[in-house]
Amino acid sequence: MSSEKEKTIAPLSSSSSSPSVELCKGINGLDKVILRESRGSSAEVYLYGGHVTSWKNDHGEELLFLSSKAIFKPPKAIRGGIPICFPQFGGLGTLDQHGFARNRTWTIEDDPPPFPTNTLSKAFVDLILKPSEEDMKSWPHSFEYRLRVALGPGGDLMLTSRIRNTNSEGKPFSFTFAYHTYFSVSDISEVRVEGLETLDYLDNLRNKERFTEQGDALTFESEVDKIYLSTPTKIAIIDHEKKRTFVVRKDGLPDAVVWNPWDKKAKAMADFGDDEYKYMLCVEAAAIEKPITLKPGEEWKGRVELSAVPSSYCSGQLDPQRVLQGS
């Protein structure tokens, strides 16, 4: 064999790859960015919605739920992944449900203003959203919304939002916000959530009335749609069957929405399979109860860091303290 041939083969058989960021076409020709980390984890972000639609660990396992019926066609928001709810969560205002950020096309920003703390990640993308003239009619405020989606070397997914009031006439504005994260679970009846016990919540299924959660970890046997208030910075979603625990770490986001539509509502949603409620749970880091107010020139930051770790078992039982207090 010629040494020439050996030279061409060598790079192809190499197993390690460096972090990469690739812009390509996704479903229906929509632009998407694929982030890849050297150990094999990856994430996909659609410019439509600034929407993370996929997050895979280094074994290639999908960690986010995306409906098989998701519609990748503006103006419909994509069902699954991580929709961004801004400048309004739910129906809490005059805008359409969850605001407009999730159904606008964002732009890649090559050189955003520097972050105060540098991320270790080399696989990241910076997006920016500014209001159109049409948006200004329904929400008359100038803003710059910068979103960085980053994949850490260990496969953690980090989303950082920086929202700045750029109104020139001295007007403040207020907004509510959520990272509407759909986690993929093996079976909703095998899942429990820790970190929200004993907290107050507003129940969306009971006119947003305020209740206090009991002392046990949350488990699921029917529709749930609750806004937990003043939540800790760390919440764990434990999937017994998969032996996997998702840890949500958040900053600047005091509230947490927990949502599963269950069977009846699932059937009523055109972009959601009838049985898919079994395989998802939304735990949404949010700022809802106390809207964020920004004066002109002010910037708000809200960050979430998601990790997926093997559940630690202790004589057949999970040890919640280890999950919540561990690093």
Ligand X SMILES: O=P(O)(O)OC[C@H]1O[C@H](O)[C@H](O)[C@@H](O)[C@@H]1O
Q: Which residues bind ligand X (CB under 6 A)?
A: 77, 90, 97-98, 204, 225, 257, 259, 282
DSSP one-letter string for 117-153: S--S-SEEEEEEE---HHHHHHS---EEEEEEEEE-T
Pairwise CA distance, residues 180 & 80, whole Å: 9
State in angstroms the smallest separation of the CB of 98 from ligand X.
5
Query: Are 121 and 151 contacting, i.e. CB atoms less than 8 angstroms apart?
Result: yes
98 is catalytic: no
DSSP for 159-202, please give it: EEEEEEE--SSS--EEEEEEE--EEE-S-GGGEEEES-TT-EEE
In whole angstroms, how close is the CB of 222 to ligand X at the nearest point? 15
Which residue, 186 or 204, is less far from ligand X as judged by CB? 204
**Is residue 221 flagged as an active site residue?**
no
CB 148 within 8 A of CB 35: no
244 is in an annotated binding site: no
Nearest residue (beta carbon) to ligand X: 259
- Quick one: residue 40, left, alpha or beta (phi over 0 = left, psi -120 to 50 = alpha)? left
C-beta closer to ligand X: residue 135 or 225? 225
Q: How many other C-beta atoms can be found within 10 angstroms of the C-beta atom of residue 206?
A: 11
Shortest distance, CB of residue 282 to ligand X, whole angstroms?
Answer: 5
**Minimal distance in Å, beta carbon 261 to ligand X?**
6
Is 156 or 225 the residue whose CB approaches ligand X more closely?
225
**Amino acid symbol at 19:** P
Q: Give me the catalytic one of 51, 98, 141, 180.
A: 180
CA distance 313 to 310: 9
CB of 218 to ligand X, least distance (A): 15
Cβ-Cβ contacts under 8 Å for 155 (sequence gap 6 or more) = 37, 39, 41, 57, 58, 307, 308
Q: Minimal CA–CA distance to 47: which of 37, 62, 67, 32? A: 32
Task: Judge contact between 55 and 40, C-beta under 8 A.
Answer: no
Among 276, 284, 289, 305, the active-site one is 284
97 marked as binding residue: yes
Nearer to ligand X, 1 or 270 (CB): 270
Q: How many CB atoms lie within 10 A of CB 240?
A: 17
Which CB atom, from 204 or from 311, has the smaller least distance to ligand X? 204
Active site residues: 180, 284
Annotated binding site: 79, 97, 102
Annotated binding site for substrate: 79, 97, 102
